[in-house]
Chain A
Amino acid sequence: MKICCLVKEVPDAAVQKRIDPSTMRLDRSGEKNLNPFDTHGIEAAMQIREGGAAEVDEIVAVTMGPESAVRALHKAVALGADRSVHLTDGALAGSDVCATGYALAKTLESENPDLVLLGQQSDDGECYTIGAVVADHLKMPSLTQVIKIDVSDGKLVCERQAEYGYDTVEVQLPAVISVGDAINEPRYPSLKAIMGAKKKPLETYATADVGIEAASVGETGSKTQVLAVNPPAEKEAGEIIEDEDTNETVEKIVAWLDERKLI
């Protein structure tokens, strides 16, 4: 079985994010990190490999992004992927969900995986959508926000929380599964794995290498257009207190509750 893990480079959570008014795109400068949600996808792949229910020949980390995105791939490899694939091309800049999903699907097609795993959302765009877009292009069944995967005999039994409670769904392979953060606790990479990550095979593709039509990606291929960026409606900022003396803090909270007749 071959598992591809989709990963994404995102701005570090501690960095203040902003939209560049000249391009209407997220300013992606600043410290970069592997999308924390994707580490759960890699961990899920590792657990399938180690669980023994299926023989995993290869775990491949796949990303799309600028040159700097290799850092996310190195982290993915340090966490357990055997090798990585980097789709990078100036033509991809400004791709929306529709165009990104298409480009990732074409890249995955060249790998012909039995299972595609990814995090339920990206830390920056907050989309839950990429997995389902990719799946439809690949003509594979798909499920998102999965919190439990059992592998047996060419199929998966997955659990997830949906609108009315927990659903159990059987999915035949090949399939695309996005995992929720409750599925596992990602391991910390060993120092040896971190040091060795840069030596693992890394293939770099341009759009033409995987058969992506240039007109279908980037700004020209995108079907949405950001027309304006506005600040949210003003909301009166709440009062923030730091707990230095807990007795004093509690007194303040009680007074606040009392004022609002909540006690």
Chain B
Amino acid sequence: MAGILVYALHDDEGNFNKNSLGAISEAAKLAGELGTEAAAVVVGEVGDEACAALGAYGAGKVYRAKAAPEGLAQPIVDVMAKVVADEGFAYALIGGGFLGFEIGAGLTARLNAGVTMEVTEVKVQDGKLVAERPVLQDSAIVDVGYVGEPGIIIGRLNAFDATERDGGSAEVVDVEVELSEWSTKATMVNRGEQRGEDVNIEDADILVGGGRGLGEAANFKLAEDLAAALGGAVAATRAVVDAGWYPYAAQIGQTGKTVAPKLYLAAGISGAIQHKVGMQSSENILAINKDQNAPIFEFCDLGVVGDLHKILPKLTEAIKAKKSG
């Protein structure tokens, strides 16, 4: 069997990550073209039914390692390396996300295997998988092939859509894996702590995103006033959330939310890949940034090079006037 093995991440309530489900669907599609099968690895105490349900996304088998903890990469590397070696998988495919980078990287070292990250598309060429990866701020796309097996593919966030099919049920196989000594030397003390208030940005038609260019936490008031005038909500980048300027629940990008509002107004956001992946599907993107070289100007619909501290207050007033007039 030369199939494709996927890692399926879940939260503490047992819900599988959307990007993991997307990776299973993608693996199933590719496995079909290669004439092989897709399977998934699950760690921790996940129920039979929940594991079998991954069949609906295209997993033929689910390898479950109950004793391995979820949330840290190295124990999962132990599990995947064993399953790849025992079952002879030709590829490991990991959905876009934070942990995926660590798992894919660990597997590379463990299996002496090639890895490609930030992959946006995978295609079959001469019976082998070729990964497409955008590089240099998405200004070029490289096709990457693998020398030998297995090949490891780490997807970009939201690169693969989860598609459910009818009546699929995966066979659940329990695996016993002895963890490497070093994999037990990192332990989770507290997982998934929410910081700051709970805000809903996913349902908003209009979002004003604030980044480091706002200068300081207090200046989020400018974004809030503008959002209020537009009838929208305020979102934020990872940099300002990590800095404690804005709540985690408002964060867009790699480790935050993915949004696609009618209007995304980026204020003081450079548009790094980690942010872009969470908002690039927005219908209209308007960027205000004083750095004319900011990557966001490469993919916005309207870009304004200027000082947002001058522009935002006047824009807020003008929109209010327009709406009342």
List residues of A whose CB falls within 8 A of some B CB.
14, 17-19, 24, 26, 96-98, 101-102, 105, 124-137, 139-145, 147, 157, 161-172, 175, 180-182, 216, 222-232, 235, 238-243, 246-247, 249-251, 253-254, 256-258, 260, 262-263
Contacts and interface: CB of A to CB of B under 8 A. Distances in A.
Contacts of A250: 311, 314-315, 318
Contacts of A164: 11-12, 191-192
The 4 nearest A-B residue pairs measured at CB: A243-B306, A223-B114, A182-B242, A164-B192
B102 interface: yes
A247 to B, nearest CB: 7
A254 B315 contact: yes
Contacts of A249: 304, 306, 311
Given A24-B142, A128-B102, 8 more contacts: A147-B242, A163-B17, A182-B239, A223-B115, A231-B139, A243-B310, A253-B304, A257-B319
Interface string B211-248: 00000000000000000001000000011011100001
Nearest to A254: B318
A140 B144 contact: no
Contacts of B71: 162, 167
Contact of B185 (A144, A172, A222): A172
Contacts of B303: 238-241
B141 A98 contact: no
Interface string B305-325: 111001100110011001100
Nearest to B71: A167
**Interface-centre pick from B136, B146, B273 (highest chain A CB count, 10 A):** B136
B195 A129 contact: no
Interface stretch (B53-61, B105-113, B166-174): B105-113
Contacts of A224: 114-116, 144-147, 151
A223 B278 CA distance: 30
B268 interface: no
Contacts of A235: 299
Contact of A166 (B136, B181, B192): B192
B127 interface: no
B141 A230 contact: yes
B101 interface: yes
Main secondary structure of the interface of B (DSSP, over half): mixed
A256 B263 CA distance: 11
Contacts, number: 285
Contact of A167 (B74, B188, B299): B188
A143 B304 contact: no
Contacts of B112: 98, 102, 216, 223
25 contacts: A19-B135, A96-B115, A105-B109, A133-B109, A140-B185, A141-B183, A145-B98, A161-B238, A162-B99, A162-B192, A163-B9, A166-B194, A167-B192, A168-B188, A175-B186, A180-B242, A182-B239, A224-B116, A224-B145, A229-B143, A232-B140, A238-B300, A242-B305, A253-B302, A262-B263
Contacts of B180: 139
Nearest to A216: B112
Interface in B122-170: 125, 130, 134-136, 138-148, 151, 154
Contacts of A226: 142-144
B300 A258 contact: no
Contacts of B139: 17, 231-232
A213 to B, nearest CB: 11
Contacts of A251: 318
A246 B148 CA distance: 58
Given A167-B191, A243-B310, A253-B286, A229 B142 contact: yes
Contacts of A246: 306, 310-311, 314
A164 B230 CA distance: 30
Contacts of B98: 145, 161-163
A258 B318 CA distance: 12
Contact of B195 (A97, A165, A169, A241): A165
B193 A165 contact: yes
B310 A133 contact: no
Contacts of A101: 105, 108-109
Contacts of B9: 163
A132 B189 contact: no
**Interface-centre pick from B108, B192, B319 (highest chain A CB count, 10 A):** B108
Given A126-B273, A231-B141, A165 B194 contact: yes
A238 B285 contact: yes
Contact of A223 (B113, B117, B183): B113
